[in-house]
Amino acid sequence: MEELDVEPAITNIPAASDGKHLGFAWGPGDILAYETLYMAPGMCAKGSGCSFIHEVRKDEDIYSPILRKLFNESHHIFVGLQTIREDLPSKNKKTQFVSISKNYRSVIRACMEELQQVAASVLVLQVSILLAIELIWNLCEVLFIDAAPAGPLLLHLLDWVRLHKGDVDEKAREVLQSESPAEHHDYWDVVVSYVLQGRFEEARQMLVKQATLQPAARNMYKLMDTLLSKMPFYNPGGTQTLTEFDVKWRHWHEEVDRCLQDNSFASNQHLEIICKILVGDEDTLLEHKELLSTWYHFLVTRLLFCHPTVKPTELHYYAQSCMTMFLDLRSVPEPLDSILLAAFEFDIHQVIKDCSIALNNWWFVAHLTDLLDHCKLLQSHNLHFGSNLREFLLLEYASGLFTHHSLWQLAVDYFDNCPEFGHVYLELQIERVPLDTERKALKVLRICEQRQMSEQVRSICKIMAMRALRNNRLGSALSWSIRAKDAAFATLISERFLQDYCARGTFSDLDLIDNLGPAMLLSDRLTFLVKYREFHKLYEENRFSEAAKLLLSLITAKIAPRSFWMTLLTDALPLLEQKEVSHSAHCALHCGFGHDLCFSGRVQLGEAELKDNSGTK
């Protein structure tokens, strides 16, 4: 396969003047460029440096508000497509695929119409790109997805051409609305255009108007009318076989030829031209390049009048010759032309490749390739780095989406449907989504949790917990670490709570601590915090024996941090004065303290007090 040599596009950066050297850094979808201090030898500093950093984006489309609808709607269709069941019979699947393809195209058309309504000059380019995209997609639908055989193939191609040549109807409207349509200067253009597109009904209706104006030539018009009405069109739903149709058509063709040889239309130049077109005379067709306006219109028209039973495999031969005949030898074929030619040659990979180069956004190739892959039309064309073509394109597209501040959510579904690398890509990208509010963090968390991305869950929760901690929202921080099941962080926060208590003498955030339930078992320190708080509650409610028991268990369980032992001791003292505290608890408290405390001065004092109390008892 030959490499297409494309000149890289040059983008001027405003500050890059005076030969200053630019530094740059790659981003996920863009480049940051900045001025450096480097000066080439022999140059002197000119003027002050530019202190800006420039962001150079390749893909402007995702920032266009109208095109955003394209991305959202097509995402919806994409997700629906992935859920089509594999076990359906292929005929049903084909109808579904065709209808999905039509959905995609209608979305493109809707965007195009909206862009046209806005009518800003900068959007003209976007409109023409969308037009081209839809043209290519439609052709791919006809040739690859619908895969019509000889017979219906031509009919579909006719539809395709008619859809993309809208100016005929406009002109016709203009002509018909004029006072005397048959004398309008565009009248014959309209008639010929109708004939070129195989729209004989309309052509006949137009001709009637001319016929009424020229009663003398009535017979000629009648003959033409007969010829037009008798042209056979293949009926796919009918009982006629292709061979039968071919015979009928040849018969008709001979009749038209006879009329030509008979000079039946010699006196009317226009009717003569139409007759020549009907017989498929190439020179006459080429004389009407302006009306045809494109080589593929020429191709379809030529097929209509020379070879209506064309087989799909024969298309490329005709396409190549038509293109050569139609275009000037000197003109360089545009990208669109070579893409269409590749389509006629049924070279799907070439179509995709050329489209990827020509368009600056992966949207089109990603979705089209995905659809073709579902139709099982892409051979497993393995690229160097292991994933297949469909996945590669989807990954590229989705990565581009992820750089957008809002459309990143769509990208998640695309990554989900890339079996090999999607998960990894998602893991790398999702951590970069900025988390401004809790609600956004919750959404991102939900995405990670649904895909068992536990690392990312932890990381996000830790970010939110740190932020809460920084703002002194201890309760919030604690709930984040519980969600992440992050024991280490929960320990850290519990320590903060306890420090707070030591500093202020009361607890903050009681409602959270009181209601943790089984979540308190996440970390030892947290359990201690909850139990300690419970102890305080019991004490306040004057339930001293229970409080003592609890305190005892806290001490013996050894989950209290060392720094807290003093506090526990101090808490124990008033208990010892309470009469309700049972004797055994008393003793146990003594023993507990005796064993575990190290002997500092204050501790000795405490012990002395204890001895004192027990003495009085």
Residues near another protein (CB under 8 A) are 65-66, 68-69, 72-73, 75-76, 79-80, 405-406, 409-410, 436-440, 442-443, 446, 450, 470-476, 479, 482, 508-509, 511-512, 515-519
DSSP symbols for 167-194: HHHHHHHHHHHSSSGGGSTTHHHHHHHH
Residue 30: its H or E element: strand 30-35
d(CA 227, CA 208): 14
CB of 19 or CB of 518, closer to another protein = 518
CB of 169 or CB of 416, closer to another protein = 416
For 263-349, strand residue ranges (E) read none
CB of 86 or CB of 436, closer to another protein = 436
Distance in Å, CB of 410 to another protein, minimum: 8
Half-sphere exposure of 319 (CA within 13 A, CB side): 18
Residues 6 or more apart whose Cβ sits within 8 Å of residue 495: 525, 561
CB of 337 or CB of 509, closer to another protein = 509
**Exposed e or buried b per residue across 158-186, where buried means at least 16 C-beta atoms within 10 angstroms of its C-beta:** bebbbebbeebeebbeebeeeeebbebee
Distance in Å, CB of 67 to another protein, minimum: 9
Residue 26: its H or E element: strand 22-26
Residue 160: its H or E element: helix 152-163
Distance in Å, CB of 103 to another protein, minimum: 12
d(CA 162, CA 297): 9
Distance in Å, CB of 73 to another protein, minimum: 6
Distance in Å, CB of 588 to another protein, minimum: 32
CB of 85 or CB of 405, closer to another protein = 405
Distance in Å, CB of 75 to another protein, minimum: 7
CB of 80 or CB of 574, closer to another protein = 80
Contact 96, 118 (CB under 8 A): no
d(CA 412, CA 429): 10
DSSP code of residue 313: G
CB of 91 or CB of 439, closer to another protein = 439
DSSP code of residue 54: E
Distance in Å, CB of 441 to another protein, minimum: 10
Distance in Å, CB of 299 to another protein, minimum: 36
d(CA 480, CA 499): 20
**Single-letter code of the amino acid located at 350:** Q
